[in-house]
Amino acid sequence: MPYLPETVDAVLARFPEKARPLVKPLFDNYKFLFRITLPRRSRLGSYKGVRAGGRPVIQINADLKPYTFLLVFLHELAHHVVMINYGRRAKPHGNEWKKSYREMVQPFFDTDIFPADLTNELLRYFRKTPATFHRDTRLINVLAMAEGGKPVVTVNDIP
């Protein structure tokens, strides 16, 4: 997968400005390779665990807006934390991952990184924490509005 090499400052610039002080220590505290990839249709990001003595890799699509970039990054980092704590025993989106993802996101709620309407939708989403948020049209629409986009129209929206 082709990727775009970037400096740490350029990577941090992809996150919401108020989130950067919380994100930087995550890069310092966890050991992984980080790649910005060309946009992919089937996924927003990915995590690949350690193989043959290498380092784990987190990849995030280059075309994501800041709040989405942050949420995808935390999703993938939660996979890394689960791998560190539980190894391959844990399911990819099982209870350990759900707990880890919630814990990764909590500091961003505590410091009001997200706009109020997005915070409310994320809190609803994190009650059950499905594997992916891009199928949750309510969350996707609030996220799109927070990032200056247009709401997504689905079949359910058509009378």
> Is a pLDDT exceeding 60 seen at residue 1?
no
pLDDT at residue number 52 = 67
In degrees and rounded to multiples of 5, residue 59 shows phi and psi of: -120, 135
Average pLDDT of 1-10?
74
Assessment of whether the complete model's pTM goes beyond 0.85:
yes
Three-state SS annotation for 9-71: HHHHCCCCHHHHHHHHHHHHHCCCEEEEECCCCCCCEEEECCCCCCCCEEEEECCCCHHHHHH
Rounded Cα–Cα distance for residues 1 and 35 (Å): 10
pLDDT at residue number 60 = 95
Cα 121-125-129 angle, rounded to 5 deg: 165
105-117 in b/e burial notation, b at 16+ Cβ within 10 A?
Answer: beebeeeebbbee
Instruction: Please identify which residue in the block is written with the tokens 């791998």.
Output: 83
* Distant-in-sequence, close-in-space partners of 102: CB < 8 Å, separation ≥ 6: 126, 129
pLDDT digits (tens, 9 = 90+) for 98-115: 999 999 999 999 998 999
pLDDT at residue number 155 = 76
Average pLDDT of 62-82?
96
pLDDT at residue number 3 = 66
CA atoms within 13 A on the CB side of 137: 7
Crossing angle for the helix pair 20-29 and 66-86, nearest 10 degrees? Answer: 30
Contact 37/60 with Cβ under 8 angstroms?
A: yes
